[in-house]
Chains A and B, each alone.
Chain A
Amino acid sequence: MQLIDCPWCGPREENEFGYGGEAHIAYPENPAELDDTEWAHYVFFRDNPQGAFAERWVHTVGCRRWFNAVRDTVTYRFLAVYPIGAPRPDVPVLAPRASAPAAASPDHDAHAVAALEPTDAR
Protein backbone atom coordinates (compact mmCIF):
# COMPACT_ATOMS: atom_id res chain seq x y z
CA MET A 1 0.00 0.00 0.00
CA GLN A 2 1.25 3.45 -0.90
CA LEU A 3 2.23 5.83 1.91
CA ILE A 4 0.91 9.38 1.68
CA ASP A 5 2.84 12.13 3.43
CA CYS A 6 0.28 14.04 5.48
CA PRO A 7 1.76 17.53 6.02
CA TRP A 8 0.84 17.31 9.68
CA CYS A 9 1.18 13.64 10.61
CA GLY A 10 3.86 12.37 8.23
CA PRO A 11 3.65 9.23 6.09
CA ARG A 12 0.52 7.18 6.67
CA GLU A 13 -1.14 4.37 4.74
CA GLU A 14 -3.25 5.35 1.78
CA ASN A 15 -6.47 3.90 3.17
CA GLU A 16 -6.38 6.53 5.93
CA PHE A 17 -7.12 9.21 3.34
CA GLY A 18 -10.08 10.50 1.40
CA TYR A 19 -9.96 12.03 -2.06
CA GLY A 20 -11.35 15.44 -2.98
CA GLY A 21 -10.73 15.78 -6.72
CA GLU A 22 -9.01 18.63 -8.53
CA ALA A 23 -7.43 21.39 -6.42
CA HIS A 24 -7.37 25.13 -7.02
CA ILE A 25 -10.96 25.45 -8.29
CA ALA A 26 -11.77 28.96 -7.17
CA TYR A 27 -15.34 30.00 -6.41
CA PRO A 28 -16.40 32.56 -9.03
CA GLU A 29 -15.57 36.13 -8.00
CA ASN A 30 -18.82 37.53 -9.36
CA PRO A 31 -21.30 34.64 -9.20
CA ALA A 32 -24.24 36.76 -10.32
CA GLU A 33 -22.51 37.48 -13.61
CA LEU A 34 -21.97 33.86 -14.67
CA ASP A 35 -24.05 32.44 -17.51
CA ASP A 36 -25.17 28.79 -17.62
CA THR A 37 -22.12 27.65 -19.56
CA GLU A 38 -19.76 29.27 -17.08
CA TRP A 39 -21.66 27.73 -14.16
CA ALA A 40 -21.53 24.32 -15.84
CA HIS A 41 -17.77 24.61 -16.17
CA TYR A 42 -17.37 25.67 -12.55
CA VAL A 43 -19.58 22.87 -11.22
CA PHE A 44 -18.99 19.90 -13.52
CA PHE A 45 -15.88 20.28 -15.66
CA ARG A 46 -12.49 19.23 -14.31
CA ASP A 47 -9.12 18.53 -15.86
CA ASN A 48 -8.29 14.88 -16.41
CA PRO A 49 -4.60 14.77 -17.29
CA GLN A 50 -2.41 11.71 -17.77
CA GLY A 51 0.49 12.83 -15.59
CA ALA A 52 0.89 15.52 -12.92
CA PHE A 53 -2.45 16.50 -11.39
CA ALA A 54 -3.04 18.94 -8.52
CA GLU A 55 -5.70 17.52 -6.24
CA ARG A 56 -7.14 17.63 -2.72
CA TRP A 57 -6.80 14.93 -0.10
CA VAL A 58 -8.04 14.67 3.47
CA HIS A 59 -6.44 12.65 6.25
CA THR A 60 -9.81 11.15 7.20
CA VAL A 61 -8.80 8.85 10.04
CA GLY A 62 -5.85 10.93 11.27
CA CYS A 63 -5.79 14.68 11.79
CA ARG A 64 -8.84 15.10 9.51
CA ARG A 65 -7.24 18.06 7.78
CA TRP A 66 -7.29 18.80 4.06
CA PHE A 67 -4.17 19.39 2.00
CA ASN A 68 -3.16 19.55 -1.63
CA ALA A 69 -0.93 17.23 -3.58
CA VAL A 70 0.52 16.96 -7.04
CA ARG A 71 0.30 13.33 -8.05
CA ASP A 72 1.16 11.52 -11.26
CA THR A 73 -2.05 9.87 -12.46
CA VAL A 74 -0.13 7.26 -14.43
CA THR A 75 2.39 6.07 -11.80
CA TYR A 76 0.21 7.24 -8.85
CA ARG A 77 3.35 8.70 -7.27
CA PHE A 78 2.95 11.77 -5.08
CA LEU A 79 5.28 14.43 -6.49
CA ALA A 80 4.45 17.13 -3.94
CA VAL A 81 2.31 17.65 -0.88
CA TYR A 82 1.51 21.22 0.18
CA PRO A 83 -0.96 23.17 2.27
CA ILE A 84 -4.33 24.39 1.03
CA GLY A 85 -3.87 27.98 -0.07
CA ALA A 86 -0.29 27.47 -1.25
CA PRO A 87 0.33 27.80 -4.97
CA ARG A 88 0.85 24.65 -7.00
CA PRO A 89 4.58 23.88 -6.92
CA ASP A 90 6.37 23.58 -10.25
CA VAL A 91 8.90 20.95 -9.30
CA PRO A 92 8.46 17.63 -7.63
CA VAL A 93 8.92 18.24 -3.91
CA LEU A 94 8.60 16.37 -0.63
CA ALA A 95 5.91 17.11 1.90
CA PRO A 96 6.41 19.68 4.61
CA ARG A 97 6.28 18.09 8.05
CA ALA A 98 4.39 18.82 11.22
CA SER A 99 7.27 21.04 12.34
CA ALA A 100 6.42 23.51 9.59
CA PRO A 101 4.27 26.41 10.81
CA ALA A 102 0.54 26.18 10.13
CA ALA A 103 -0.63 27.84 6.94
CA ALA A 104 -1.46 31.11 8.62
CA SER A 105 1.17 33.69 7.80
CA PRO A 106 0.96 35.13 4.29
CA ASP A 107 4.54 34.16 3.40
CA HIS A 108 4.19 30.63 4.74
CA ASP A 109 3.17 29.17 1.40
CA ALA A 110 6.25 30.31 -0.43
CA HIS A 111 8.42 29.26 2.49
CA ALA A 112 6.94 25.76 2.75
CA VAL A 113 7.39 25.06 -0.92
CA ALA A 114 10.89 26.52 -1.20
CA ALA A 115 12.17 24.47 1.72
CA LEU A 116 11.30 21.17 0.09
CA GLU A 117 13.56 18.82 -1.78
CA PRO A 118 13.12 16.66 -4.88
CA THR A 119 11.53 13.35 -4.17
CA ASP A 120 12.05 9.88 -5.33
CA ALA A 121 11.31 8.37 -1.98
CA ARG A 122 8.06 6.62 -2.87
Chain B
Amino acid sequence: MTAEVSELRELRASVREFLEAKSPEEAVRKLMESEPRFDLDVWAQAADQLRLPGLAIPEEYGGDGFGPVELGVVMEEMGRALLCSPFFATVVLAAQALLASGDSDACARHLPGIASGRTTATLAVAEDSGSWDPALISARAVPDGDGGWRLNGRKCFVIDGTTADLILVVARTVAGPSFFAVDRTAPGVTAVAMETLDATRAMARLTFDSVAATPVGAEGSGGRIMARVLDMASVGLAAEQAGGARRCLEMSAEYARTRHQFGRPIGSFQAVKHKCADMLVQVELAEASAREAARLADEGAADFPVAAAVAHACCSRAYMFAAMENIQVHGGIGFTWEHPAHLYFRRAKSSQLLFGGPAVYHERLLDRLGI
Protein backbone atom coordinates (compact mmCIF):
# COMPACT_ATOMS: atom_id res chain seq x y z
CA MET B 1 0.00 0.00 0.00
CA THR B 2 1.37 3.40 -0.95
CA ALA B 3 -0.03 6.72 0.17
CA GLU B 4 -0.87 9.49 -2.27
CA VAL B 5 1.42 12.50 -2.65
CA SER B 6 -0.80 14.63 -0.44
CA GLU B 7 -0.89 11.94 2.26
CA LEU B 8 2.90 11.71 2.17
CA ARG B 9 3.10 15.47 2.60
CA GLU B 10 0.74 15.24 5.56
CA LEU B 11 2.77 12.42 7.09
CA ARG B 12 5.96 14.44 6.69
CA ALA B 13 4.36 17.53 8.22
CA SER B 14 3.00 15.71 11.25
CA VAL B 15 6.27 13.84 11.91
CA ARG B 16 8.24 17.07 11.53
CA GLU B 17 5.94 18.94 13.87
CA PHE B 18 6.19 16.13 16.42
CA LEU B 19 9.98 16.02 16.23
CA GLU B 20 10.37 19.78 16.43
CA ALA B 21 8.44 19.64 19.68
CA LYS B 22 9.94 16.46 21.10
CA SER B 23 13.46 16.32 19.73
CA PRO B 24 14.87 19.84 19.69
CA GLU B 25 18.64 20.18 19.94
CA GLU B 26 18.61 20.47 23.76
CA ALA B 27 16.72 17.19 24.03
CA VAL B 28 19.18 15.44 21.71
CA ARG B 29 22.13 16.77 23.71
CA LYS B 30 20.60 15.62 27.00
CA LEU B 31 19.71 12.16 25.69
CA MET B 32 23.08 11.47 24.12
CA GLU B 33 24.56 11.45 27.59
CA SER B 34 21.75 9.43 29.19
CA GLU B 35 20.95 5.78 29.64
CA PRO B 36 18.77 4.62 28.02
CA ARG B 37 19.67 6.89 25.15
CA PHE B 38 16.08 7.70 24.28
CA ASP B 39 13.09 9.26 25.95
CA LEU B 40 10.60 6.55 26.95
CA ASP B 41 7.71 9.04 26.99
CA VAL B 42 8.51 10.37 23.52
CA TRP B 43 8.79 6.82 22.20
CA ALA B 44 5.40 5.98 23.71
CA GLN B 45 3.88 9.12 22.16
CA ALA B 46 5.39 8.31 18.76
CA ALA B 47 3.71 4.93 19.01
CA ASP B 48 0.37 5.98 20.46
CA GLN B 49 -0.20 9.32 18.73
CA LEU B 50 1.56 8.83 15.38
CA ARG B 51 1.64 5.02 15.23
CA LEU B 52 5.17 5.25 13.81
CA PRO B 53 6.58 1.84 14.87
CA GLY B 54 3.72 0.04 13.12
CA LEU B 55 3.65 2.22 10.01
CA ALA B 56 5.38 -0.28 7.71
CA ILE B 57 4.36 -3.50 9.44
CA PRO B 58 1.63 -5.52 7.69
CA GLU B 59 -1.89 -5.22 9.08
CA GLU B 60 -2.01 -8.95 9.89
CA TYR B 61 0.73 -8.31 12.46
CA GLY B 62 -0.92 -5.28 14.01
CA GLY B 63 0.66 -2.60 11.84
CA ASP B 64 -0.80 -0.07 9.42
CA GLY B 65 0.55 -1.85 6.37
CA PHE B 66 2.29 1.02 4.64
CA GLY B 67 5.57 0.45 2.84
CA PRO B 68 9.13 1.62 2.29
CA VAL B 69 8.04 4.95 0.79
CA GLU B 70 6.29 6.03 4.00
CA LEU B 71 9.10 4.56 6.08
CA GLY B 72 11.50 6.69 4.04
CA VAL B 73 9.58 9.87 4.81
CA VAL B 74 9.73 9.10 8.54
CA MET B 75 13.45 8.27 8.38
CA GLU B 76 14.21 11.51 6.51
CA GLU B 77 12.53 13.48 9.25
CA MET B 78 14.25 11.53 12.02
CA GLY B 79 17.57 12.17 10.28
CA ARG B 80 16.89 15.91 10.16
CA ALA B 81 16.08 16.00 13.85
CA LEU B 82 18.88 13.61 14.91
CA LEU B 83 16.22 11.85 16.94
CA CYS B 84 17.58 9.53 19.62
CA SER B 85 15.21 6.59 19.46
CA PRO B 86 15.01 2.82 19.02
CA PHE B 87 13.18 3.29 15.70
CA PHE B 88 16.01 2.37 13.33
CA ALA B 89 17.08 -0.79 15.20
CA THR B 90 13.52 -1.89 15.96
CA VAL B 91 11.54 -1.02 12.87
CA VAL B 92 14.13 -0.89 10.10
CA LEU B 93 16.55 -3.63 11.19
CA ALA B 94 14.69 -6.13 13.37
CA ALA B 95 11.18 -5.90 11.92
CA GLN B 96 12.55 -6.09 8.36
CA ALA B 97 14.62 -9.13 9.32
CA LEU B 98 11.56 -10.85 10.73
CA LEU B 99 9.58 -10.07 7.57
CA ALA B 100 12.45 -11.16 5.32
CA SER B 101 12.74 -14.47 7.17
CA GLY B 102 9.32 -15.55 5.95
CA ASP B 103 8.82 -17.17 9.36
CA SER B 104 5.17 -16.43 10.07
CA ASP B 105 5.33 -17.86 13.60
CA ALA B 106 8.20 -15.56 14.53
CA CYS B 107 6.42 -12.62 12.87
CA ALA B 108 3.18 -13.35 14.75
CA ARG B 109 5.10 -13.65 18.03
CA HIS B 110 7.18 -10.48 17.77
CA LEU B 111 5.76 -8.01 15.23
CA PRO B 112 2.56 -7.00 17.09
CA GLY B 113 4.65 -5.92 20.08
CA ILE B 114 6.98 -3.98 17.79
CA ALA B 115 4.07 -2.40 15.91
CA SER B 116 2.48 -1.18 19.13
CA GLY B 117 5.75 0.27 20.43
CA ARG B 118 5.79 -2.02 23.48
CA THR B 119 8.71 -4.11 22.24
CA THR B 120 12.00 -2.64 21.11
CA ALA B 121 14.32 -4.86 19.13
CA THR B 122 17.64 -4.96 17.34
CA LEU B 123 19.78 -6.99 14.99
CA ALA B 124 23.16 -8.41 16.01
CA VAL B 125 25.25 -9.21 12.95
CA ALA B 126 28.73 -7.68 13.08
CA GLU B 127 31.50 -8.89 15.34
CA ASP B 128 34.83 -7.29 16.16
CA SER B 129 35.60 -6.36 12.54
CA GLY B 130 32.27 -4.64 12.08
CA SER B 131 31.67 -6.57 8.87
CA TRP B 132 28.24 -7.73 7.71
CA ASP B 133 29.78 -10.44 5.55
CA PRO B 134 28.10 -13.75 6.58
CA ALA B 135 31.40 -15.54 5.92
CA LEU B 136 33.05 -13.63 8.75
CA ILE B 137 30.55 -14.62 11.45
CA SER B 138 31.99 -16.75 14.23
CA ALA B 139 29.13 -16.81 16.78
CA ARG B 140 27.75 -20.36 16.89
CA ALA B 141 24.42 -21.97 17.66
CA VAL B 142 24.05 -25.65 18.47
CA PRO B 143 21.02 -27.81 19.29
CA ASP B 144 20.70 -28.33 23.06
CA GLY B 145 19.36 -31.88 22.70
CA ASP B 146 15.90 -30.96 24.01
CA GLY B 147 14.64 -29.45 20.76
CA GLY B 148 16.06 -26.01 21.61
CA TRP B 149 19.22 -24.15 20.64
CA ARG B 150 22.13 -22.67 22.58
CA LEU B 151 24.03 -19.62 21.36
CA ASN B 152 27.67 -18.75 22.02
CA GLY B 153 29.76 -15.85 20.82
CA ARG B 154 30.23 -12.14 20.79
CA LYS B 155 28.58 -9.35 18.77
CA CYS B 156 29.66 -5.73 18.44
CA PHE B 157 28.11 -2.52 17.07
CA VAL B 158 24.68 -3.74 18.17
CA ILE B 159 22.47 -0.67 17.98
CA ASP B 160 20.48 -0.15 21.20
CA GLY B 161 22.03 -3.41 22.37
CA THR B 162 21.71 -2.59 26.08
CA THR B 163 18.03 -1.70 25.88
CA ALA B 164 16.36 -3.72 23.11
CA ASP B 165 13.93 -6.32 24.46
CA LEU B 166 14.39 -8.66 21.52
CA ILE B 167 17.71 -9.41 19.85
CA LEU B 168 17.88 -11.12 16.48
CA VAL B 169 21.27 -12.74 16.23
CA VAL B 170 22.99 -14.16 13.16
CA ALA B 171 24.99 -17.21 14.14
CA ARG B 172 26.73 -20.06 12.37
CA THR B 173 25.22 -23.56 12.42
CA VAL B 174 26.24 -26.65 10.48
CA ALA B 175 23.80 -25.54 7.79
CA GLY B 176 25.38 -22.06 7.54
CA PRO B 177 24.49 -18.62 8.86
CA SER B 178 21.10 -18.64 10.56
CA PHE B 179 18.88 -16.21 12.46
CA PHE B 180 17.93 -16.65 16.10
CA ALA B 181 15.68 -14.71 18.45
CA VAL B 182 17.07 -14.05 21.90
CA ASP B 183 15.45 -12.38 24.88
CA ARG B 184 17.89 -9.76 26.18
CA THR B 185 17.11 -10.71 29.77
CA ALA B 186 17.86 -14.40 29.11
CA PRO B 187 20.54 -15.91 31.35
CA GLY B 188 23.99 -15.77 29.75
CA VAL B 189 23.45 -12.47 27.87
CA THR B 190 25.86 -9.67 28.81
CA ALA B 191 25.48 -6.25 27.23
CA VAL B 192 28.13 -3.55 27.59
CA ALA B 193 27.66 -0.12 26.08
CA MET B 194 30.35 0.84 23.52
CA GLU B 195 31.77 4.33 23.35
CA THR B 196 30.54 5.68 20.02
CA LEU B 197 31.68 8.30 17.51
CA ASP B 198 28.02 9.27 17.12
CA ALA B 199 26.64 9.55 20.63
CA THR B 200 23.07 9.87 19.35
CA ARG B 201 23.06 6.22 18.27
CA ALA B 202 23.77 3.84 21.17
CA MET B 203 25.74 0.69 20.44
CA ALA B 204 26.72 -2.27 22.58
CA ARG B 205 28.96 -5.30 22.71
CA LEU B 206 26.93 -8.39 23.51
CA THR B 207 28.32 -11.66 24.85
CA PHE B 208 26.29 -14.84 24.60
CA ASP B 209 27.29 -17.65 26.92
CA SER B 210 25.17 -20.71 26.19
CA VAL B 211 22.04 -18.59 25.77
CA ALA B 212 18.69 -20.17 24.95
CA ALA B 213 17.77 -19.10 21.38
CA THR B 214 14.83 -19.67 19.03
CA PRO B 215 15.48 -20.15 15.30
CA VAL B 216 13.93 -17.56 12.96
CA GLY B 217 13.44 -18.74 9.40
CA ALA B 218 14.95 -21.89 7.99
CA GLU B 219 18.29 -23.05 9.34
CA GLY B 220 21.02 -21.87 6.97
CA SER B 221 18.87 -19.14 5.41
CA GLY B 222 20.78 -16.37 7.18
CA GLY B 223 22.73 -15.26 4.14
CA ARG B 224 19.62 -14.76 2.05
CA ILE B 225 17.77 -12.94 4.83
CA MET B 226 20.78 -10.71 5.48
CA ALA B 227 21.02 -9.72 1.84
CA ARG B 228 17.36 -8.65 1.91
CA VAL B 229 17.70 -6.88 5.26
CA LEU B 230 20.79 -5.06 4.10
CA ASP B 231 18.94 -3.75 1.04
CA MET B 232 16.00 -2.55 3.14
CA ALA B 233 18.19 -1.21 5.94
CA SER B 234 20.46 0.68 3.59
CA VAL B 235 17.45 2.36 1.98
CA GLY B 236 16.11 3.29 5.43
CA LEU B 237 19.52 4.59 6.42
CA ALA B 238 19.82 6.41 3.08
CA ALA B 239 16.60 8.29 3.81
CA GLU B 240 17.90 9.22 7.26
CA GLN B 241 21.16 10.41 5.65
CA ALA B 242 19.30 12.43 3.01
CA GLY B 243 17.30 14.12 5.76
CA GLY B 244 20.44 14.96 7.73
CA ALA B 245 22.20 16.24 4.62
CA ARG B 246 19.23 18.47 3.76
CA ARG B 247 19.32 19.93 7.27
CA CYS B 248 23.07 20.68 6.99
CA LEU B 249 22.42 22.46 3.68
CA GLU B 250 19.63 24.52 5.21
CA MET B 251 21.84 25.53 8.13
CA SER B 252 24.61 26.59 5.76
CA ALA B 253 22.34 28.52 3.40
CA GLU B 254 20.69 30.32 6.30
CA TYR B 255 24.05 31.27 7.77
CA ALA B 256 25.45 32.34 4.38
CA ARG B 257 22.45 34.64 3.85
CA THR B 258 22.73 36.35 7.21
CA ARG B 259 26.36 36.30 8.34
CA HIS B 260 28.22 39.43 7.18
CA GLN B 261 31.97 39.73 6.62
CA PHE B 262 33.87 42.45 4.75
CA GLY B 263 30.63 44.39 4.64
CA ARG B 264 28.47 41.87 2.81
CA PRO B 265 26.71 38.54 3.41
CA ILE B 266 29.23 35.70 3.06
CA GLY B 267 26.82 33.93 0.70
CA SER B 268 27.51 36.64 -1.90
CA PHE B 269 31.13 35.49 -2.18
CA GLN B 270 31.33 33.00 -5.00
CA ALA B 271 33.57 30.63 -3.02
CA VAL B 272 30.89 30.27 -0.33
CA LYS B 273 28.05 30.34 -2.84
CA HIS B 274 29.56 27.48 -4.83
CA LYS B 275 30.17 25.44 -1.69
CA CYS B 276 26.45 25.73 -0.98
CA ALA B 277 25.57 24.89 -4.60
CA ASP B 278 27.78 21.79 -4.42
CA MET B 279 25.97 20.77 -1.25
CA LEU B 280 22.62 21.30 -2.97
CA VAL B 281 23.66 19.07 -5.88
CA GLN B 282 24.64 16.30 -3.47
CA VAL B 283 21.44 16.66 -1.46
CA GLU B 284 19.22 16.57 -4.55
CA LEU B 285 20.95 13.41 -5.78
CA ALA B 286 20.69 11.86 -2.32
CA GLU B 287 16.97 12.51 -1.99
CA ALA B 288 16.27 11.29 -5.50
CA SER B 289 18.22 8.06 -5.01
CA ALA B 290 16.76 7.31 -1.56
CA ARG B 291 13.18 8.02 -2.64
CA GLU B 292 13.54 6.14 -5.91
CA ALA B 293 14.97 3.10 -4.13
CA ALA B 294 12.07 3.16 -1.66
CA ARG B 295 9.61 3.38 -4.55
CA LEU B 296 11.21 0.42 -6.32
CA ALA B 297 11.16 -1.59 -3.07
CA ASP B 298 7.49 -0.80 -2.72
CA GLU B 299 6.81 -2.03 -6.25
CA GLY B 300 8.89 -5.14 -5.67
CA ALA B 301 10.88 -4.16 -8.77
CA ALA B 302 13.66 -6.44 -9.96
CA ASP B 303 16.16 -3.58 -9.98
CA PHE B 304 15.50 -2.64 -6.36
CA PRO B 305 18.77 -4.20 -5.06
CA VAL B 306 20.75 -2.06 -7.53
CA ALA B 307 18.82 1.06 -6.54
CA ALA B 308 19.37 0.23 -2.86
CA ALA B 309 23.12 0.01 -3.41
CA VAL B 310 23.13 3.29 -5.34
CA ALA B 311 21.11 5.02 -2.60
CA HIS B 312 23.39 3.68 0.10
CA ALA B 313 26.54 4.94 -1.61
CA CYS B 314 25.05 8.21 -2.84
CA CYS B 315 23.48 9.22 0.47
CA SER B 316 26.53 8.18 2.51
CA ARG B 317 28.72 10.45 0.43
CA ALA B 318 26.20 13.29 0.26
CA TYR B 319 25.68 13.40 4.02
CA MET B 320 29.39 13.27 4.77
CA PHE B 321 30.04 16.03 2.25
CA ALA B 322 27.22 18.24 3.54
CA ALA B 323 28.24 17.71 7.17
CA MET B 324 31.86 18.63 6.42
CA GLU B 325 31.06 21.66 4.29
CA ASN B 326 28.51 22.85 6.83
CA ILE B 327 31.31 23.28 9.34
CA GLN B 328 33.44 25.11 6.78
CA VAL B 329 30.64 27.53 5.88
CA HIS B 330 30.18 28.30 9.58
CA GLY B 331 33.90 28.81 10.13
CA GLY B 332 35.26 28.63 13.67
CA ILE B 333 31.85 28.67 15.29
CA GLY B 334 31.02 25.43 13.45
CA PHE B 335 33.89 23.69 15.23
CA THR B 336 32.64 24.39 18.73
CA TRP B 337 30.95 21.83 20.97
CA GLU B 338 27.98 24.16 21.39
CA HIS B 339 27.21 24.29 17.67
CA PRO B 340 25.13 21.36 16.35
CA ALA B 341 27.33 20.92 13.25
CA HIS B 342 29.49 18.28 14.92
CA LEU B 343 26.47 16.22 15.86
CA TYR B 344 25.64 15.90 12.16
CA PHE B 345 29.28 15.30 11.29
CA ARG B 346 29.43 12.43 13.78
CA ARG B 347 26.16 10.92 12.58
CA ALA B 348 27.27 11.27 8.94
CA LYS B 349 30.62 9.53 9.45
CA SER B 350 29.15 6.82 11.63
CA SER B 351 26.33 6.12 9.15
CA GLN B 352 28.71 6.10 6.20
CA LEU B 353 30.66 3.24 7.79
CA LEU B 354 27.85 1.41 9.56
CA PHE B 355 27.44 -1.39 7.02
CA GLY B 356 31.09 -1.59 6.03
CA GLY B 357 31.91 1.67 4.27
CA PRO B 358 32.64 2.76 0.71
CA ALA B 359 34.94 -0.10 -0.36
CA VAL B 360 32.32 -2.62 0.75
CA TYR B 361 29.24 -0.94 -0.67
CA HIS B 362 30.97 -0.11 -3.95
CA GLU B 363 31.70 -3.81 -4.45
CA ARG B 364 28.11 -4.60 -3.45
CA LEU B 365 26.84 -2.28 -6.17
CA LEU B 366 29.10 -3.85 -8.79
CA ASP B 367 28.00 -7.29 -7.59
CA ARG B 368 24.31 -6.37 -7.92
CA LEU B 369 25.05 -5.11 -11.45
CA GLY B 370 26.75 -8.38 -12.31
CA ILE B 371 30.17 -6.75 -12.67
Note whether A and B form a binding pair.
Answer: no
Q: Which B residues form the contact surface with A (CB < 8 A)?
A: none
